[in-house]
Homo-oligomer: A and B are copies of this chain.
Amino acid sequence: MNSREWHLVRRPTGRPDEADVALVTVEVPEPAPGELLVRNDVMSVEPYMRGRMSDGPSYAEPYALNAPMTGHAVGEVVASGDADVPVGARVLHELGWRELAVVPTSAARVLPDLDVPPSSWLGVLGLTGFTAYAGLLTVAAAKPGDTVFVSAAAGAVGATAAQIAKAMGCTVIGSAGSEAKVRYLVDELGLDAAFSHREPSVRAALKDALGRAGTDGIDVYFDNVGGEQLECALRHMRLFGRLALCGAIATYDATEPVPGPRNLLLLIWRRLRMEGFLVGDHEAARPAFERVMAGWLAEGRVRSVETVQEGGIDQAWRAFTAMLDGENVGKMVVPLCG
């Protein structure tokens, strides 16, 4: 059977470009024993993929050149080399960026039969949602009553973190990249205040948003962007505040190292804790997360926020660069063969 898949053919310098990748048609073999042939329903594109396209030091292996890129996808088993996984089973795995995937059974998770769309397992019920949950609760130790600031709050992780914080009883401020997203955060997701990081002064915009939310300081900063917003957040942190560093999308395309915030001394004066985290270290809390999140979804306290890029595998690269440009609200997903 033939399948199409996206290969990285050149490492991007700065902003990724279409010449960095190629859509390649390959022949897919029958699954060997212990393997599954999966027809992917839907894949996601995510900021961390930008990091894997470079070969500098990072937490993840760089993508190989002239080979398919990887990433989360949900699909249906169409041929099985494992007696325990029947044809027709729906699985979550990491061989996205392609229509058909041959997945070792050990690298596939058969999904429970919950009444949610498959794409939820890429977003709010998946690593995205779990990242928001672990960062907010375990790393930043958010408590009801805290003021929580989430940057890129209309992004996949951010929209979930902001909703979890609201569900917990926090005052929540969010930033996003357009006025439409800002309205969405307040009107649809119920944030106490939001602002656009494209305003002339991020510093003034954050201060005004705190005022509109009726608060004068931040207890928890959930940082998805780094750069200027981190510096501005530090300025408003309360004593003993916690900063969970989840990502730094503002700096990923930089070709020169980006200086850190100029006010790090505030860490001492205000006894702040700044901690980076990767969701993979928190696996032990995953079952609790899935239980709690399924409850919040059922109650409508958290919703799955997604932007769908139509057009199948052809449009996956466009979806990725659109996500980097901030065109998405919530998780950016690409239906493939569904």
Contacts of A230 in B (CB 8 A): 264
Complex partner residue of A248 from B57, B247, B264, B270, CB under 8 angstroms = B264
Contacts of A57 in B (CB 8 A): 269
Would you call B276 and A267 a contact (CB within 8 A)?
yes
A123 within 8 Å of B by Cβ? no
0 or 1 for each of A282-324: is its CB under 8 Å from B? (1 = yes):
0000000000000000000000000000000000000000000
State the Cβ distance, A223 to closest chain B Cβ, in Å.
Answer: 9
Complex partner residue of A271 from B272, B273, B277, CB under 8 angstroms = B277
Contacts of A226 in B (CB 8 A): 264-265
| Nearest chain B residue, comparing its CB with the CB of A223 | B268
Would you call B270 and A273 a contact (CB within 8 A)?
no
| Nearest chain B residue, comparing its CB with the CB of A230 | B264
A275 to B266, CA, bound (A): 10
Interface stretch (choices A184-192, A211-219, A251-259): A251-259
A246 to B269, CA, bound (A): 10
Give the dominant DSSP class at A's interface. Answer: loop
State the Cβ distance, A140 to closest chain B Cβ, in Å.
Answer: 12
A268 to B280, CA, bound (A): 12
Would you call A270 and B276 a contact (CB within 8 A)?
yes
A232 within 8 Å of B by Cβ? no
Complex partner residue of A268 from B261, B267, B269, B278, CB under 8 angstroms = B278
Contacts of A58 in B (CB 8 A): 269
Would you call B265 and A262 a contact (CB within 8 A)?
no
State the Cβ distance, A98 to closest chain B Cβ, in Å.
Answer: 27
A27 within 8 Å of B by Cβ? no
Contacts of A275 in B (CB 8 A): 267, 271-274
